[in-house]
Amino acid sequence: MKKIGCAILGSGNIGTDLMLKLLEVPSHLEPLLVVGVDAESEGLALARQRGIASTHEGIDRAVMLAEWAQIKLVFDATSAGAHAHHHEVCMVEGKQMIDLTPAAIGPYCVPVVNMDSYLNQNNVNMVSCGGQATIPIVYAVRRVSEHLPYAEIVASVASRSAGPGTRANIDEFTETTARGIEVVGGADKGKAIIVLNPAEPPMMMRDTVYTLSSGAEPEQIEDSVQAMVAEVQDYVPGYQLKQAVQFERFGSNDKLRIPGLGEFEGIKSTIFLEVAGAGHYLPTYAGNLDIMTSAALATAERIAQQKFGAGA
């Protein structure tokens, strides 16, 4: 079976989880190089233990290694600030990029919604963990509705699963996720909130999605949401609804007034989600990591087959 050589930029939580997925989940992808900036990081140590080439001197050193020539696809699991330089280097070197940072230089990609539209793009962005968990649901409401003027998501993750990269990118997370809700999810206006929950024992990733829509009945919305959950479960088995979708109707004599948006008539839907991780690197409560790396892996696998002829 033809394998496509991959590099991972970033040896933190997300990069390490992705490395182990590439090693353990059947695919046409082969991790050949892990790049970090901390010589003592656990991710680089695990890469060495698994026989994967590594460097702690960043991408500028990575391009000098023999393995670099064999790499066609690069995952960036660093930070929004670092991604700009990584993008420049990889475009010069002719490498395909899967961006797991909130930098969003490339188009937003949510596998179950729009992956097929961007298989020929040289850099695709995975939005954020909250975006991967909630944008499919926003889209599920939009695809059966005539209008979706507003969608808001609240992503609550265990504090233990939020590493320094996540904490340094909170602003970018909220901005990128909100924009993804609009561009990919189809809402006229999107809003995103993230909560780092310090509870002990750590809680699973929980996401709440609120939508205001018109032109679809509750039964249509619920059926669409249920179908979308099943689609996401194809690559994130721990993704599930926590309870039945809740609905509230606003009529012409009981309009909802929203600051900055005006009056609304239609249906408010509230969807509660939980994401349990597969436990490749961190415990199952780290569903926020798992859904990002799983979405990136699903996207990379399709690109490997479509663009590079993997498996042919």
Question: Per DSSP, which regions of 201-265 are E strands?
Answer: 205-214, 239-241, 246-250, 256-258, 262-264
Distance CA 278, CA 276 (A): 7
Angle value at C-alpha 155, between 149 and 158, nearest 5 degrees:
180
Distance CA 201, CA 203 (A): 6
Distance CA 111, CA 120 (A): 14
Task: Reply yes or no on whether 129 is catalytic.
Answer: yes
Closest CA to 103 of 91, 118, 117, 87: 87
* C-alpha torsion sign, points 116, 120, 121, 125: positive
Active-site option among 6, 90, 109, 129 = 129
Angle value at C-alpha 111, between 296 and 270, nearest 5 degrees:
110
Closest CA to 122 of 99, 145, 153, 150: 99
Catalytic (active-site) positions: 129
